[in-house]
Amino acid sequence: MAKGMREIKRSIKSKQNTKQITKAMEMVASAKLKRAQDAAVASRPYTEKIKEVVASIASGGGAIKHPMLQTREIKRTAYLVVTSDRGLAGGYNANVLRKVWTEIQEKHKSPAEYDVFVIGRKGRDYFKRRGVALAGEVTGLSDTPKFADIKSVAAAAVKGFESGTYDELNLVYNQFYNAMTQVPVIKQLLPLDQSQFTGAKASYEYEPSPEKVLDVLLPKYAETVIYSAVLEGKASEFGARMTAMGNATKNATKMIAGLTLTYNRARQAAITQEIAEIVGGANAQA
């Protein structure tokens, strides 16, 4: 009985230590979530302004053409997948990776029909385990990523579409709603949906020409959308980690309560047995 009680006490101590860690991780994720949300919000005015200028050109009566606005036969598709470098974030990585892998298996008959770009160590490791050669990768992002951190992979993916290497570019990431809800989505990034650029009436004068400005702005716009997805992914990551660590803390509390009850019952049983032995010994001597 004493041995069993020692094991229960050791288990309680272990759960208490784990609870302290998960609680601390929950608090850290909560603080980082606020900063990540602020960064995502701060990036929106720049994205919206580029979109406004692009819309004013693209809605110019159909006279202006650009490869990034033209739909063509899809022979090869690129996927840019946004994941995290670290785990302990519930289903954050698993959900988005499962979604894109299912999409790839359903739409493509061979690896020759697609390429994968990855942001985040979890995504890189996932595809490498499945023998997928990555067209580009970025890992080791900070908790507050800058555009320069992901520019190489974003530019490579966009340039691949511009050059005709890919006929479609899809962006795969977790869309952030709140700390409890992050939904994995596959968003067609290129070719750009020209319907979203219609109806703009702002008047601008362009030098040297609207076409030349569009040549610069459309790739910038696509790269900015990718960066916005990375920021939203960071907010989703911290929200998922905060929720996961909160659930882990609650589960640890329940386990500690159950083990404490078991320990107290075992201790009470041991005391009762000792009293019975003492009384039995005293009666035997009487």
Domain boundaries defined on the chain: 27-243
Return the top range by mean pLDDT from 123-127, 162-166, 189-193: 123-127
Q: Which residues contact 156 (CB under 8 A, 6 or more apart)?
A: 117, 135, 136
Q: What is the pLDDT of residue 99?
A: 97
Minimum mean pLDDT range among 74-83, 126-135, 203-212:
203-212
Spelled out in words, what is the top-level CATH class assigned to the domain 27-243?
alpha beta
What phi-psi label fits residue 228: left (phi over 0), alpha (psi between -120 and 50 degrees) or beta?
Answer: alpha
Is the pLDDT at 77 greater than 70? The verdict is yes
